[in-house]
Amino acid sequence: MVYSKPPVVDAKSSPDSLFLNGAELPAERFIAEPCRIQGMSAILRLSEPGRLAIKVREHDAPISIILGGDGKIVTKTIPVGETATAPFSVVNTSSTFLVSSEKPFGKVELDTAASRVKPAIVRPEGFAPPPEAIVFEAENIASQEGQRSAKVVERPSASNGRATSGWDVEGQAGEWLINAPEDATYRIYIRTATVNHPVVLREFYLDGRHISTDFDVVSWRSTGGFGYAPKEWRWLELPATATIQKGSHRLKVAVLLGSANIDAFAIIKNAK
């Protein structure tokens, strides 16, 4: 079913409304004259920043989605023939949500679990990898993707005195070559510094595949600064181990949300 009666229908009286994680959200359908744009608006409140997948069941014209709040606006389009977007990164827990199209559209479903975010394990200030750890400096970057490039910067407090900075926008990714000394299951660490963002979201790939089948996205929060002082760096352990064969492998980190400097990586053979 699609809405077709102008000008306003209360969401509760319409079978085609807005759902967040399976629960109906208060929303309003409208038709904007004179262009007759069909739309639906709502206030979206989430328990925490993260990722938001959006699905629109029925639509005969492209769907435009606008999510705004706190001076930031994110837009996405769902083309005809597709039902869902790639997930949004949502910074603000309270946002205005607007979905519109040239033609009527059906039920809109939002899902915060669809992109499967898992927090990194934050090691305390002063943590140092154990002697058996194999450390890879982030400044030895193999390749980058995206319209903006990160740079190698001098940071006296960084491992080897240098780090990478400028991982700022979605679409950027860096790839590093890591070398495993033997076939084993390893814990993977990243040394990072970040501030002033509600949450940092990153995807980690090993040889082109997510490092775990249990989650797609790793999250962490401010470390207190961008690494100008030693206390601003933290070692984070990724929330899964990876079985890695002896030899060289590609570790890729893709930016989804938030700026975070990267100093180094480490792999540590899992004791178990």
Applying CB under 5 A, which residues contact Ca ion?
137, 158-160, 163, 263-264
Taking the complex as a whole, how short is the minimal distance between the CB of residue 159 and Ca ion, in angstroms?
4
Taking the complex as a whole, how short is the minimal distance between the CB of residue 240 and Ca ion, in angstroms?
24
Residue nearer to Ca ion on the CB measure, 43 or 128: 128
Tokens 């309003």 belong to 28
Residue nearer to Ca ion on the CB measure, 191 or 252: 191
CA distance 190 to 193: 10
- Is the distance from CB of 192 to CB of 260 less than 8 angstroms? yes
Cα distances from 179 to residues 11, 25, 40, 64, 183, in angstroms, run 56, 49, 51, 44, 11
Taking the complex as a whole, how short is the minimal distance between the CB of residue 264 and Ca ion, in angstroms?
5
- Is the distance from CB of 204 to CB of 210 less than 8 angstroms? yes
Q: Which two tokens stand for residue 222?
A: 């401010």
Q: What element of type H or E holds 165? A: strand 162-165
For CA atoms 146, 152, 157, 160, give the dihedral sign. positive
Closest CA to 190 of 213, 156, 167, 215: 167
Residue nearer to Ca ion on the CB measure, 25 or 158: 158
Q: Pairing state of beta strands 8-10 and 28-32?
A: antiparallel
Residue nearer to Ca ion on the CB measure, 109 or 137: 137
Residue nearer to Ca ion on the CB measure, 164 or 219: 164
Taking the complex as a whole, how short is the minimal distance between the CB of residue 164 and Ca ion, in angstroms?
8
Residue nearer to Ca ion on the CB measure, 110 or 158: 158
Taking the complex as a whole, how short is the minimal distance between the CB of residue 250 and Ca ion, in angstroms?
19
Taking the complex as a whole, how short is the minimal distance between the CB of residue 262 and Ca ion, in angstroms?
8
Residue nearer to Ca ion on the CB measure, 114 or 152: 152
Closest CA to 38 of 74, 64, 67: 64
Q: Give φ, ψ of 213 to 5 degrees.
A: -85, -5
- Is the distance from CB of 96 to CB of 41 less than 8 angstroms? yes
Taking the complex as a whole, how short is the minimal distance between the CB of residue 188 and Ca ion, in angstroms?
16
